[in-house]
Amino acid sequence: MENITLIGMPGSGKSTVGVVLAKTLGFSFLDVDLVIQERQGKLLQELLNSLGTEAFLDLEGETIRSLRPQNTVLAPGGSCVLRQDAMEHLKSLGKVVYLRLDFPALEARIHNLATRGIAFAPGQTLRDVYDQRAPLYARWADATVDVSPVQDPAATLEAVRAAVNAL
């Protein structure tokens, strides 16, 4: 099997599900946000504050394009879909699974907007970000798993595994 990339809004469970999925597949796990932080020596929010949204998105895209993983579950930041070349690279690495979270569930899960490191353009609301990204996630996905209902992590993992096995 090739790599698997999990995409979706912040709070959709990409990192949480990704770690467990990687373990069950015997894959490595790669959190792209952590790669960015390690390479830059700053937290995501610090990078967003110092670079601005567009420069941060460019940095995220460059980081994604530099990755050459094998047998890995990747969890890029939720903004990865805003750079087409980054998504084309992720698609070239393997299958892409969209962890779909509806807006009410997103609002319930995200409480630390000011410090979480979410790429917002000036004046954008969480709803604006959701409305901008949701169609892009759907466009790039090879499979979609709805993670909006409150389920235990095992049920979510099983749904993602079933989607991956169906690819």
pTM (predicted TM-score): 0.92
Work out the number of other CB atoms within 10 angstroms of the CB of residue 35: 17
Query: pLDDT value at position 161?
Result: 87
Instruction: Read off the CATH number of the domain in which 110 is found.
Output: 3.40.50.300
Q: What are the distances in angstroms from CA 157 to CA 13, 93, 120, 151, 160?
A: 10, 21, 29, 10, 5
For residue 166, being part of any structural domain is answered with no
Nearest to 150 by CA among 8, 15, 13: 13
> Which residue type does 30 have?
L
For residue 111, being part of any structural domain is answered with yes
For residue 167, being part of any structural domain is answered with no
Q: Which of 10-19, 102-111, 135-144 has the lowest mean pLDDT?
A: 102-111
Kindly indicate the confidence band of residue 151, based on its pLDDT and cuts at 50, 70 and 90: low
* Length in residues, the chain: 167
Per residue in 42-99, pLDDT (tens digit) is 999 899 999 999 999 999 999 999 999 999 999 999 999 999 999 999 999 999 999 9
For residue 14, being part of any structural domain is answered with yes
Q: Please indicate whether residue 113 or residue 23 has the higher confidence score (pLDDT).
A: 23
3-state DSSP assignment of residue 126: helix
> Which residue type does 149 have?
P
- Mean pLDDT, the chain, whole residue set: 91
Query: pLDDT value at position 83?
Result: 96
Residues 6 or more apart from 85 whose CB is under 8 A from it?
61, 65
What is the number of domains present in the chain?
1
For residue 47, being part of any structural domain is answered with yes
Q: Which of 41-45, 101-105, 159-163 has the lowest mean pLDDT?
A: 159-163
Query: pLDDT value at position 6?
Result: 97
**In which domain, by residue range, is 44 found?**
3-161
Query: pLDDT value at position 164?
Result: 86
Work out the number of other CB atoms within 10 angstroms of the CB of residue 146: 14
Angle at 156 between CA 67 and CA 149, to 5 degrees: 120
Per residue in 31-45, pLDDT (tens digit) is 999 999 999 999 998
